Amino acid sequence: MDCSEGFAGWPPEQTVFPVAGLDLKVLPGRHPLHLSDEAAIRENWAKETAANPALFDGEMIFQKRLALSEKGISGEAHVIPFSCFMWWRRQADRRGGIHLFAYPVIATNDGALVAIRMGAHTANPGQVYFAAGSLEPMDVADGRCDVEANMRREVLEETGLDLRDATVGDSYYASRVRRTVTVLRLFRFDLSADEIVEKIHAHMLVAEDDEIAGPVVIRSADHSAQPYNIAMLPVIDWYFAENGVA
């Protein structure tokens, strides 16, 4: 089921569904979107950085096509500059590419989830979501994205938590909205929410940057409780339905 133009055959938007596996190739050369809209991308980036000078035009992995089958999600991607992604996400139809990123869902031994609030100088200021970031070239091994490595790196950088200390969920899940696909996996720590929050606050004192404004404890699927990133909503619905909390 190729979704280079659409998501025919995929589960509906904003629902969480199991995924058998991941096979995400990274191809050489430039992404077609970057080639076709380079001038518009440069113009938009000038506006973005004028409004937020802290933005950095690093590199990230951006999908050219994705497919869903009984084997899981497979894809072909290229490395693009962050400025290309920022232009793409402002387009109404978001055609020409697909953003796939990974959510490590951090659960505690007292039934809560722990997310983070993004700092004021970031691309998503004030939004609440799990410690995560786009796939980057450093997450590529032998021409394929290593999603587990991406999740470990992002969580360690942002929170100081080591996902290797958690019990890992048996499988991947995914959800999608507006041509963004979120791949998620559950990581359950044998710590309370308060203990994890304490660890994150301690990490923030020594972290090299202030990308996050602080940890957020989530104890229900109430969509209005926090300024959630839209990708969070199906995930908290799924987690608390599975764990018997409305």
Model's pTM, two decimal places?
Answer: 0.92
Cβ distance 138 to 240 under 8 Å? no
Amino acid 44: pLDDT? 97
Amino acid 231: pLDDT? 93
Amino acid 213: pLDDT? 86
Kindly give the confidence (pLDDT) of every residue in the chain, 246 residues in length, as a single tens digit, with 9 standing for 90 and above.
444 456 888 999 999 999 999 999 999 999 999 999 999 999 999 999 999 999 999 999 999 999 999 999 999 999 999 999 999 999 999 999 999 999 999 999 999 999 999 988 887 888 999 999 999 999 999 999 999 999 999 999 999 999 999 999 999 999 999 999 999 999 999 999 999 999 999 999 998 777 888 999 999 999 999 999 999 999 999 999 988 665
Position 211: which residue type? E
Amino acid 2: pLDDT? 44
Which residues touch 87 (CB under 8 Å, ≥6 apart)? 37, 40, 41, 44, 45
Closest to 160 (Cα-Cα) out of 217, 205, 121: 205
Amino acid 122: pLDDT? 82
Three-state SS for the chain is CECCCCCCCCCCCCCCEEECCEEEEECCCCCHHHHHCHHHHHHHHHHHHHHCCCCCCCEEEEEEEEEEECCEEEEEEEEEEHHHHHHHHCCCCCCCCEEEEEEEEEECCCCCEEEEEECCCCCCCCCEECCCCECCHHHEECCEECHHHHHHHHHHHHHCCCHHHCEECCCEEEEEECCEEEEEEEEECCCCHHHHHHHHHHHHHHCCCCCEEEEEEECCCCCCCCCECCCHHHHHHHHHHHCCCC
Amino acid 89: pLDDT? 95
Amino acid 1: pLDDT? 40
Amino acid 246: pLDDT? 53
